[in-house]
Amino acid sequence: MGTQRGKNKGFENLVDGQVLPQPAYQGEFTEGEIVQYYNPESMTWAERIYLPYVLAGLGLTAKVFLRNMVTWFVWLTYWVRGKGAEAKRGATTIYYPHEMRPDFSPVNRGKHILTMRDNDDPQCVACYMCATACPAFCIHIVAGEHPDPAIEKYPVRFDIEIDKCIFCGYCEEACPVDAIRLTTDVHLVDYKRERMVYDREYLLTWKPTYVEEEHVYPGDRPRKS
Amino acid sequence: MTTDSVTLTIDGNSVTVPKGTKVIDAAREAGKNIPHFCYHPGLPVDGNCRMCISDIRTWNPRAEKHMPARRPAVACWVDAEENMQVFTDTPEVKKARASVMEFLLINHPIDCPICDKAGECMLQDYYMLHDRAPSKLREEKVHKPRLVPFGKRIVYNGERCILCSRCTRFTTHVTKTHELGIVNRGDRAIVEVLEGGDFANAYTDNVADICPVGALTKTDFRFKKRVWFLKHTDSVCGGCSRNCNTVVDHDGSEVIRIMPRERAGVNDWWMCNEGRDLYKEHAALARPAATLRIDGLEGGTASSITTWVGEKLAEYKKSDAAAVLVSPWISNEEAWLLSFLLGKLKIGHLDVMTGRTEGALPADDLLHTDDPNPNRAGAIAAGIVPDKKAGKGIDEIKAAIEAGEIEFLLLWGPHFGNDLDPELLSKVATVVQITDEHDAVSDAAAAVLPLRTWAERDGTWTNFEGHTSRFRRSLRPPAGALDGFDLLMQLCAAAGVKSPAKSLRDARKKLKQDPDSDVRAIVDGKFTFPEQSALYRHTSGAREV
Ligand code: SF4
Ligand code: SF4
Ligand code: SF4
Ligand code: SF4
Ligand code: FES
């Protein structure tokens, strides 16, 4: 412990002289107590002839198949009566991209949007706080002089390299004017690498694919369309 | 007490200072920064911001005790006295300071997100250190003029201004041009360019540096970069022979701005606008490429060309047909090694060229000198002078070229156009140009070697008064550009002369010790930079050249 304190010495007065807490697991393991996990060296007789386990595997697959089959047919009887939504459908797979899950958590962190002022100008004042906070260095801003002297500064360019982004949400937290938000949208696929850089226009105008407007953040004012 | 110095204690540390020193300066001497806005070591005291209030107790000799202070007093106004006791951070002082901060922030717009000063703003720093309280104001803040141009280079934002009067004192006492003044009263007071005037002196940008907040910002730096993305490198301005000490703020490949660095006896705290704009010239520089135009030897790499030049120099040993002209942009170390090499080879026709004349501004009594080149004094002191016995100076060299007597001419450094025209140079059989700037001669010279510029190499320059300042490498040099000193070491090796120094650092050391050399790389005065916020702290402290 003593040496550990010494090592952290420089940080001691970081927060008004408070000593930072030590890591909780410190000193819990001593040498010789290390537990190792490994597979047993030899297989049992049943394992060595494989067949029982192959059959067991087939059985499991068949069980799932039959269960899905039955629930599917049950669901079909509902569907023909026009009551498809009332019963559980067979397999839990969904048919992406024709079908998308609507049940992401409302605080899931996904693709960014830039918010707008009432006159469709970006809310962003190009303060670079997000770019400073971003641990992935994926936000690139070029600031310019806004024609309206009351606004003064705005982003001429605002690019996010979405393929570098780690969706930590720091940008959103750093923003002093609520100009950048992470939506719950996770659909970031594309065929071209260049299109993984989202520019200002795109970030200002794209619409989340499936999420209800008020679903972006419950209680927030809706985005201007 | 009739002595010239007084001894007092600052937070228990005793310090001795000359009589008449202000308490705040004495505290700086003791290594204690008393927070301040309106105080600036280069300006007369004003004492209006009250940020520097401290508990100051005078010594009563009759009662033989310290008189308890009735109220805190401003450390920038009170003279240090014998036996005085100063406490700079007692709980009462801290509380008083927090109240001062609260007053200063009453009408401040807190628009740090769009303020170029953010990150090096004293108001921000001191708020975090001394206040940290939310505003209690319920009314709307007072609105004042924003975006007011003060001349072409400065923008004024009245809402951010804390009326410390540093800028007006600068124009009154430093430039003595009296352009700025504070008009109106109370919460309507603002700084204005006084009637009928224009804010256009040669030192206007300094007001943006000394403005403790973002009320005065530079148009040149406007929205260019947040200051915390900048890297800082100590450098020296080459704009004239004053050699203002500077900090080059850059991002590794590009200079974003140039700021003055405190250097007593040279530029004190200031620098001129032209010096700040020098980086634009640097960015626009056409850079030469290593070239050799000798029949049968065309092409070649930089090192093979260097070897060729070195051997050629050795061929002209003791010859009357070789001459060397040096630009006043050479560094002291390079000049020293070059003059050593030429001394060994007994090439005596050697002189410093006129150099740059384009940027010449009228000399004034603040900083500007009439020589827009940095190191004429240093080059001459380091030995770039014609040989005492048979050497020719620049005019005689020109005459000799005219007469066709010079076969080999080495041009070191840029800006020789004022001495030599291409027509004259065509009379020389072999012209070797070692420079950082591509020009007409680079297209015709027998050999061209690219050099690094002042921003890309290390060295020292000596100003017209003999003060030596060190500049350091700030930018990545372009591919192929050679360091002047390394190049000279290679030339020495190729010419068969043993270099007296192993490295640049070694050369600097030898320069200092060499009793025969006229160059004394002496630093006088301490480098301190207490004025800027945390960003600049790495540049503080005494620096040996
Ligand atoms: S979510 Fe994190 S990584 Fe992604 S842009 Fe924002 S700050 Fe950068
Ligand atoms: S933090 Fe907000 S206002 Fe600042 S640059 Fe980023 S998005 Fe714009
Ligand atoms: S503009 Fe800046 S330097 Fe001038 S009075 Fe206002 S705060 Fe002080
Ligand atoms: S006075 Fe001379 S050395 Fe100083 S900044 Fe101006 S040009 Fe540069
Ligand atoms: S610094 Fe002393 S009153 Fe302003």
Q: Does B229 touch chain A (CB under 8 A)?
A: yes
- The answer to whether residues A70 and A155 belong to one domain is no
Q: Does A94 touch chain B (CB under 8 A)?
A: no
Nearest-Cα distance to chain B for A200, in Å, is 18
pLDDT category, B534, cuts 50, 70, 90? very low
Task: Enter the ipTM.
Answer: 0.82
CATH 3.40.50.740, chain B: domain bounds? 291-539
Nearest-Cα distance to chain B for A94, in Å, is 45
Tell me the C-alpha distance between A64 and A43, whole Å. Answer: 28
Q: Give the closest ligand to the alpha carbon of residue A168.
A: 1
Q: Does A134 touch chain B (CB under 8 A)?
A: no
Within-domain flag for A96: no
- The answer to whether residues A119 and A203 belong to one domain is yes
Q: What is the mean pLDDT of residues B335-362?
A: 87
Within-domain flag for A93: no
- The answer to whether residues A57 and A122 belong to one domain is no
Whether the predicted pLDDT of B330 surpasses 70: yes
Within-domain flag for A210: yes
From chain A, the residues in CB contact with B146 under 8 A are: 149, 152
Whether the predicted pLDDT of B531 surpasses 90: no
Give pLDDT, residue A183. 86
Give pLDDT, residue B377. 86
Whether the predicted pLDDT of B3 surpasses 80: no
Query: Which whole-number Å values give the CA distances from B217 to A190, B39, B193, B214, B274, in the listed order?
Result: 44, 19, 15, 6, 17
Q: What is the mean pLDDT of residues A49-55?
A: 94
| Sheet arrangement for strand B148-150 | B148-150, B154-156, B216-218
Within-domain flag for A24: yes
State how many domains chain A has.
3
Tell me the C-alpha distance between B80 and B263, whole Å. Answer: 24
The whole-chain average pLDDT of chain A stands at 77
Three-class SS state of B102: helix
- The answer to whether residues A2 and A70 belong to one domain is no
Give pLDDT, residue B123. 92
Q: What is the mean pLDDT of residues A69-85?
A: 85
- The answer to whether residues A36 and A141 belong to one domain is no
Higher per-residue confidence, A220 vs A198: A198
Tell me the C-alpha distance between B481 and A62, whole Å. Answer: 73
Summarize pLDDT for B216-237 with one digit per residue, the tens. 999 999 999 999 999 888 899 9
Query: Which whole-number Å values give the CA distances from B51 to B11, B201, B409, B531, in the listed order?
Result: 17, 30, 63, 14
- Those residues whose C-beta lies under 8 Å from the C-beta of residue B290, and which sit 6 or more positions away, are B300, B301, B302, B305, B448, B449, B450, B480
Give pLDDT, residue B67. 86
Ligand 1, from A171, A183, A185: best to mutate by most atoms within 8 Å of Cβ? A171
Within-domain flag for A95: no
Is the CB of B306 within 6 Å of ligand 3?
A: no
- The answer to whether residues A145 and A209 belong to one domain is yes
Ligand 4 atom closest to Cα of residue B243: 3
Question: Shortest CB distance from A143 goes to which of B147, B223, B228?
Answer: B223
Nearest-Cα distance to chain A for B2, in Å, is 45
Please choose, from the candidates B467, B425, B464, the residue with its C-alpha nearest in 3D space to the C-alpha of residue B325: B425
- The answer to whether residues A114 and A29 belong to one domain is no
**Range in A174-178, B438-442, B492-496 with the lowest mean pLDDT:** B438-442
Tell me the C-alpha distance between B71 and B78, whole Å. Answer: 13
The whole-chain average pLDDT of chain B stands at 87
pLDDT category, A1, cuts 50, 70, 90? very low
**Domain boundaries B5-100, CATH class:** alpha beta
Q: What is the mean pLDDT of residues B447-473?
A: 90
Residue A101 CA to ligand 1 center (angstroms) comes to 24
**Kindly report the CA angle at A13 between A12 and A16, in degrees rounded to 5?**
135
- Element (DSSP H or E) covering residue A65: helix A51-80
- The answer to whether residues A214 and A109 belong to one domain is yes
Give pLDDT, residue A44. 83
Within-domain flag for A151: yes
**Range in A36-50, B136-150, B259-273, B473-487 with the lowest mean pLDDT:** A36-50
* Nearest protein CA to atom 2 of ligand 2, as residue: A175
Within-domain flag for A144: yes
Q: Which string of DSSP letters, residue by residue, matches B250-316?
A: E-SSSEEEEEE--BTTTTBT---HHHHHHHHHHHTPPPP--EE--TT--S--HHHHHHHHHHHHHHT
Query: Where residue A139 sits, what CATH number does that domain have?
Result: 3.30.70.3270
Q: How many CB pairs lie under 8 A apart between chains A and B?
A: 30
From chain A, the residues in CB contact with B114 under 8 A are: 125-127, 152-153
> Residue B223 and residue A177: Cβ atoms within 8 Å?
no
- The answer to whether residues A211 and A114 belong to one domain is yes
Residue B465 CA to ligand 3 center (angstroms) comes to 33
Give pLDDT, residue A197. 94
Whether the predicted pLDDT of A22 surpasses 60: no
- The answer to whether residues A58 and A29 belong to one domain is no
Summarize pLDDT for A132-170 with one digit per residue, the tens. 999 999 999 999 999 999 999 999 999 999 999 999 999
Residue of B nearest to A130 (CA): B113
From chain B, the residues in CB contact with A153 under 8 A are: 113-114, 223
Tell me the C-alpha distance between A107 and A117, whole Å. Answer: 24
Q: Does A168 touch chain B (CB under 8 A)?
A: no
What six digits make up the tokens of B214? 């973002």
Tell me the C-alpha distance between B219 and B252, whole Å. Answer: 22
List the domain range (segments joined by +) for residue A130: 105-218
CATH 3.30.70.20, chain B: domain bounds? 137-227
Fold of B291-539: Rossmann fold (3.40.50)
Summarize pLDDT for B280-304 with one digit per residue, the tens. 999 999 999 998 988 777 777 899 9
Tell me the C-alpha distance between B430 and B412, whole Å. Answer: 14
Tell me the C-alpha distance between B273 and B157, whole Å. Answer: 21
Q: What is the mean pLDDT of residues A51-73?
A: 92
- The answer to whether residues A19 and A56 belong to one domain is no
Tell me the C-alpha distance between B152 and B134, whole Å. Answer: 37
- Element (DSSP H or E) covering residue B508: helix B504-513
CATH 3.10.20.740, chain B: domain bounds? 5-100
Fold of B137-227: Alpha-Beta Plaits (3.30.70)
The answer to whether residues B441 and B431 touch, using CB atoms and an 8 Å cutoff, is yes
**Range in A21-25, B318-322, B330-334 with the lowest mean pLDDT:** A21-25
- The answer to whether residues A131 and A65 belong to one domain is no
